A and B are shown apart, each in its own frame.
Chain A
């Protein structure tokens, strides 16, 4: 599915490759035992090792390696048996050793792929490599100078590099969403976008349709929202096409995306090219990833989003779209699954979850994990409606409270006296009273005006403050009118 831009003479296509950095969910840093907790006092989580004091040496975090292997396997990569860390050198105040430990020519994982779907069209995006590296610290630029917080310095990251297989901002977004889903399913990362735990650089170029060579690319750095990536790519591709149409040429450069103005801006280009002087870190021994270890990790990978989506369609009869929405996030999919297991119609539960629950949570800007409502409660709510204990309308009215308080629906409706009146003996006197008070409507109905029935049902509902079961009221009214 190519995204093409029309111009007078030529039609251009966009070519995008993404480099995604994801923070791993380990408790400690990649090369020392400092905590990776987010939001602590500046430099509270540092030690002589991650501050690069003289004499310190890196100690490799086994869990980080295991997570990186797990992520690479989940992305369909081959795992390198021999691997090592290399030093990538540059001076910056957020990089204590003035080199970043990364993996240059022997990445942990290679040759993977991700399936994406855009507008109903499926596509395979190749993943060139997945490697492990350490994060840098954070800088805070103030008028008086720059402040350095190295709490993030040394936190394990994986870098996932795609092949230039994406053809639009929309595809890039679909790729990122799928990537996020896979990573959160495997549990290797919390993928908290707001904490910057997933960051994306995009290499963007354009070329005339039919051309097989790549155009000159620009790199858009450090984006951390999916919509930002989509917009940035669309803008940048259009900008490049415009440059070419004007007879100019695209300059190879690094740009950044201005979210507010929705444009990409060239970053201050250094007078000289960077030379990272990669070389194998002599402080860390090259190491072997044993087959047994890889197999052990492989067996711990849970069902991934694509598999789960297919299962939801087959097992619960969900539509492709619904199954897709419900499986995009593991937490949501797990919630759904638990609710279904507690009983109730899977389709109804899916509807309630997607429309009402997510609708409410989105308004509050919350995730499914942030509500105290338990999956069994959603199941109970759907069952109460199915059994006619409450109406759908009542269901909708108690849901916000369930989401806020975590109370069971039955507790809420009982406390509020919202249980539907199904009892004939309780409804009959009310119906008799309504018939008596509305002779005109009764006459209209008997004259063949069916609409009058609706009015009478409404009156009964009003009398019962909405607690009567409408279907039951209907039946009893008809019976009374016919008699």
Chain B
């Protein structure tokens, strides 16, 4: 096959480990070598776990196995290297959120996903770069470092889970956790040619995940293919008593359904809706072409594609920015320099301490959203801005409900264009927000959605196909993604670094 270890999908790697064809030490060593080789160019990691500790941990697992102890089938991620977005708490590791405010903060506890990851015996490789507090679409708002697109290092990896996407694309981890509040998993996945999956809101516990916008934030994954995503979802989904906003459901069981399913039978008669609004003028011709090719593949396999209207599409972004900024303004207020994190020097009184700490510790984009959010919640603006946006959210929810009464999934591009160059959009907030144009609606409605690789632009930049499903419709979303991937090879392409 000639494929390097770090290029293999999670499930392939897992099989090799399970069958004893590979040791954990070999896997970890291979990934460490890969990280050493490419990290200076990619810059995904805010913190890489200590090499010695990683190797020692791997050795312990191998020794246990060779003694015949411990049934690894109980540990579904046994020995697999995983990356964590830096807004997820891993006890003892940094949790900077790519902010000066938390530059030296180490989490004193584990997020629920981290606990489950440890139980599954995944290997935590480190913490990955992101936009500051997940506010941004290019990972350029990180106050700590620059992450580059592995396909072309002049281009951004997207954001906010840019470090997670780049790490998976560059083969630095077998998969990575991300969070998606308006496209923060799917958009960087599209830009870096990997799979980015955001489940239904509440499907995975948010406990231990720094909040950006609580009613939008969704934990998900960046993987090599859709089947990997299904496998991981089954491990991490399910109710968590520490998160009252987690769905009161059992863990999913998507992987086994998908694994043995014949893609053609599944796609035959599948009803697919494509909103006109997703394919309009704002979509670059090259992206549009790739997406139409994808439609063609699905139609060839027997799916029915129909163009429909999504009435409130134009209002999704304004509603999204008001609501997420309002929640963010409140979620960010705990960073006051009292109990942890950065505190400004030489301040005489408490109010000056608060102001100086926050002004020095938080970046421009974060401040801008805090101000927009504070404005939307303040007396005299609450009804016209915050509450109005909440009502529009209801209308968008209803648009989707109508659509899913007649269709199984909704398709379109993940982003209007492929990745852009550093600095190209940073100074223009609205231009930057445009990259989330097609992704925020899934978060407004809480729906599951995925971005899968759908080819490249002429400049060699990846393009993502987005699949959205109904509430709790992870099986439909992952099912279509998996079927598409059995018919295409875009997801097998790897960047040359």
Contacts and interface: CB of A to CB of B under 8 A. Distances in A.
A contacts B directly (C-beta below 8 A): yes
Contacts of A97: 333-334
Choose among A54, A58, A60, A279 the residue with the greatest number of B CB atoms under 10 Å from its CB: A54
Main secondary structure of the interface of A (DSSP, over half): loop
Contacts, number: 97
B326 A89 contact: no
A21 B410 CA distance: 52
Interface in B315-361: 326-327, 330, 333-334, 336, 338-340, 350-351, 354
B457 interface: no
A44 interface: no
Given A55-B87, A97-B334, A277-B374, 8 more contacts: A54-B105, A54-B107, A55-B211, A57-B244, A97-B333, A277-B377, A281-B214, A285-B245
Interface of A: 48, 51-60, 87, 89, 91, 93, 96-99, 146, 148, 150, 275, 277, 279, 281-285
Given A48-B109, A93-B336, A93-B338, A54 B206 contact: no
B401 to A, nearest CB: 20
B89 interface: yes
Nearest to B217: A282
7 contacts: A54-B105, A54-B210, A55-B208, A55-B210, A57-B211, A97-B333, A285-B245
A282 B108 CA distance: 24
Nearest to A146: B350
A279 B111 CA distance: 26
A466 B340 CA distance: 73
Interface in B204-262: 206-211, 213-215, 241-245
A97 B336 CA distance: 9
Across the A-B interface, give the 5 residue pairs with the lowest CB-CB distance, nearest first: A98-B333, A282-B214, A282-B215, A54-B210, A277-B377
B207 A279 contact: no
Given A57-B206, A99-B333, A283-B214, A51 B339 contact: yes
Nearest to A47: B109
B95 A54 contact: yes
Contact of A54 (B326, B334, B336): B334
Nearest to A92: B350
Interface in B93-138: 95, 97, 102, 105, 107-109, 111
B66 interface: no
A122 B182 CA distance: 60
A272 B217 CA distance: 34
A129 to B, nearest CB: 21
B378 A284 contact: no
A282 B334 CA distance: 15
Contacts of A279: 326, 330, 377, 382, 386
B352 to A, nearest CB: 12
Contacts of B405: none
B108 A48 contact: yes
A277 B378 contact: yes
Contact of B242 (A53, A57, A275): A57
Contacts of B245: 57, 282-285
A148 B339 CA distance: 9
A58 B334 CA distance: 14
